[in-house]
Structure 1
Amino acid sequence: MQDPAYLDPRSGRTWPLSEPRWRGPEGQPLLLTDLPGLTRPGIEAGTRGLWRYAAALPFRPAAPITLGEGATPLLRRDWGQGALRGTAHFKCEWLMPSGSFKDRGATVMLSLLREQGIRHVLEDSSGNGGAAIATYAAAGGMRARILVPASTSPAKTVQSRALGAAIELIPGSRQDCADAALAQGNDPAGNDPASGVFYASHNWHPFFLQGTKTLAYELWEDLGFRAPDNVIVPCGAGSNVLGCGIGFGELLRAGQIDRLPRLFAAQPAQCGPIARAFLGLPPAPPGPTIAEGTAIAQPIRLPEILDTLRRSGGGAVLLEEAEIAAATRDLAAQGLYVEPTSAQAAAALSRLREEGAIGREEVTVVVLTGAGLKATQRHAELAGVAL
């Protein structure tokens, strides 16, 4: 197999990893060329967390930036009502240093970029992505600047500020914020790292997906070195869908599993462009949703996400606000205090069982991505409590 390289999946063009870049020269999002995958002897048994799968990465950093992320619990619980009640496996990805699954991508992306000489990174996010980048930049002695919409509640940025990130308020919408980050980021073809800030976006950089793919490896190990039947994830920009597609694809290529699990993307009906496209529905303008962490109106890797879902034999679910709220409360009643964004995956399981797409006896993993502490106001509203 050839050396890993940046890949434009839409044209097949490649570029060497030796020159840091976050997109193609025409502005297209990139992935990496296929990697061989990891076999059981390649796991670093003495390492706890996701860095035990370091041999599956495109290159190994001399000193990873790590805070013990990964190794999140996989809890077996009953889920559902009446005849639809059955066992599910809940992957508690919110039990990470910054409180969300995005630590998987941040630890790998920033470790690999620092190895390439990057010391100052730019990100645009008012939520979990910005918190994760701020966390690992601080841990790695790197500088971080986070662009957020000017309308963002200060409560959403206090975590990043406390970690030392510079917060820049951008007038306008979330898209205006993303556009400002694109304008401030370095040349897509890569600059001398000493010349300025590098756009290390969790939505754009393919190294981030090399971190999220470790979820697949961890589930494989959690389940006794076999693949689950189904994996359901909340989906905004699609990094968990793509990461699972990459990771399970590597395991299949390496002969460690005999089939891919079916991947299902859960999105709010108020803002679900990926699910709408998968289901053949026309685009619709976005509206407000309690699942705000997945309210991304223009996901940049839409074709790749749809292809990943289809190749797995999975699908997508559009969820009403009442379904998301009910799942949030029902999870909390079992001691699983997550943000409504995460609860979409559990709501999707209920819907998929009701429709007969997933059987009660199948091994189904529900990925819970963010802590309820990040959505205190939403939980207060659901409970009818004034803050």
Structure 2
Amino acid sequence: MTSSTSSNSLPDYVCPADGTRVAPQSLAWCCPVCRGPLDLDFHPTPTPLKRLSGRVNSLWRYAESLPLGPPTASLGEGRTPVVELTPHISAKLDFLLPTLSFKDRGAVLLAELALRLGPERVIADSSGNAGTALAAYGARAGLDCTVYVPAGTSPKKLEQIRAHGARLEVIAGDREAAAAAARSAADAPGTFYASHVYNPYFLHGTKTYVHELWEDLGGRLPDALVVPVGNGTLLLGAALALRELHAARLIDRVPALYAVQAAAVAPLAAAWRAGADDLLAPAPGLAPQPSTYAEGIAIARPPRARQILAAVRAFGGGFLTVPEPAIAAAQRDLASRGLYVESTGVACWAAVRGGALGDRSAVVPLCGAGAKTGLAEAAE
């Protein structure tokens, strides 16, 4: 299947849990049976390396791998550079995308989809970066956009959302409370829920991270991909790309996928250590969720948990956790190298800079700009 240009040729949604199919023109944001996230019945064949030369210098150069196109709301997203940090570890600078985070990769797909479906309003929920990305692409596309955020979201991210003209709904409570408020509003008639968690178009945007690595490394990939995981949108997008490239025989092996969580909020890592296929049941009388510098991955109950755990197992990886002092130290270390990255975005470097992967080659994403949150203060 190649990219689509109208709502009539978009792929069906399919529930990964029970197989329920949903029409592509629907504004339904979840499976009508189990209320879980949806996937796309879309299995593209990526373009060989030699045919990419001369194409547009954005993620849209991989048009055959994307479920819709051509774009009308693009801001030139994609094609971020890769720089060496050590002889074995390189970083992909996704904080150089238009809204200063990797979320642009998925947000542009959601904006394009909304343009084709023509809703009355677009809503989203976010801890900050996805909200700023959706606000920006919503502005570019001329969409009516409201973003739900938790109290305590970085003031700099709130300022960015407002600057793009989106309405803000600040919800008392944590990230889960903001998501619950958005989901309550998502069923209103004429509403498109631009969820970077539930809507699979977002994952097909984030997978271009791997397509770019593959192209920039001359048709190969490193031994390991290390990604921060809260809701898992970058990891699941990476898994999509790896499967597509391998099925097309454009790579002869797939790298291991490693997921990084802050030790303070690591529900997936806990499930992994227990050998579970899904999140562990919360303990009775559980204390309030602790805070972490890595606010963008502080997700207590990610809806795609089963898929995240299955992907890490399928690609022979594992989970790494990082304490707060290590996050702060990694942020300062990168800044000393000329790379000012927000505290969530440094989590992967914090996890591997001490040699956790041995001499295997790896790439880590630097996901968001430091100007969005400021400098983390190391614990004494």
Fold similarity call, TM over 0.5: yes
**Residue 266 of structure 1 pairs with residue 264 of structure 2:** no
C-alpha RMSD of matched pairs (Å): 2.2
User: Deviation per CA, 1:318-376, whole angstroms, max 9, x where unpaired?
Assistant: 1111221221111111111101111110121135x34xxx232x321111111111121
User: Residue 30 of structure 1 contacts residue 204 of structure 1 at CA under 8 Å; is this kept in 2?
Assistant: yes
Q: How does 1:225-304 map to 2 (within 5 A)?
A: 225-280=219-274, 286-304=289-307
Count residues with an aligned counterpart: 362
User: Residue 276 of structure 1 contacts residue 318 of structure 1 at CA under 8 Å; is this kept in 2?
Assistant: no
User: Residue 44 of structure 1 contacts residue 53 of structure 1 at CA under 8 Å; is this kept in 2?
Assistant: no
**Residue 211 of structure 1 pairs with residue 205 of structure 2:** yes
User: Residue 275 of structure 1 contacts residue 316 of structure 1 at CA under 8 Å; is this kept in 2?
Assistant: yes
Supply the AA of the counterpart residue of 1:211: G
| 1:19 matched residue in structure 2 | 26
TM-score, with structure 2 as normaliser: 0.89
**Residue 53 of structure 1 pairs with residue 79 of structure 2:** no
TM-score, with structure 1 as normaliser: 0.87
Query: Which of 42, 51, 71 is matched with 2:79 structurally?
Result: 71
C-alpha distance in 1 between matches for 2:235 and 2:248: 20
The share of aligned pairs that are identical, in percent, is 43
| 2:15 matched residue in structure 1 | 8
User: Deviation per CA, 1:273-332, whole angstroms, max 9, x where unpaired?
Assistant: 112211228667631111111111110000000011111101111111122122111111
C-alpha distance in 2 between matches for 1:51 and 1:44: 13
User: Residue 220 of structure 2 contacts residue 251 of structure 2 at CA under 8 Å; is this kept in 1?
Assistant: yes
Q: How does 1:126-205 map to 2 (within 5 A)?
A: 126-152=127-153, 154-186=155-187, 195-205=189-199
Query: Which of 312, 315, 332 is matched with 1:312 structurally?
Result: 315
**Where in structure 1 do 4 or more consecutive aligned residues deviate above 6 Å?**
none
CA apart distance, 1:153? 5.2
Partner SS state of residue 373, structure 2: helix
The runs of 5 or more residues in structure 1 that have no matched partner are 79-85, 188-194
| 1:92 matched residue in structure 2 | 93
Supply the AA of the counterpart residue of 2:195: S
**Residue 105 of structure 1 pairs with residue 106 of structure 2:** yes
Partner SS state of residue 94, structure 1: helix
User: Residue 29 of structure 2 contacts residue 186 of structure 2 at CA under 8 Å; is this kept in 1?
Assistant: no
User: Deviation per CA, 1:56-92, whole angstroms, max 9, x where unpaired?
Assistant: 112324x4311111010101222xxxxxxx4311100
User: Deviation per CA, 1:224-244, whole angstroms, max 9, x where unpaired?
Assistant: 011221111111100011000
| 1:366 matched residue in structure 2 | 364
The runs of 5 or more residues in structure 2 that have no matched partner are 3-9
CA 1:215/1:209 → structure 2, altered by over 3 Å: closer, same or farther?
same
Partner SS state of residue 76, structure 2: coil
CA apart distance, 1:44? 7.0
C-alpha distance in 2 between matches for 1:151 and 1:339: 16
CA 1:31/1:108 → structure 2, altered by over 3 Å: closer, same or farther?
same
CA 1:138/1:383 → structure 2, altered by over 3 Å: closer, same or farther?
farther
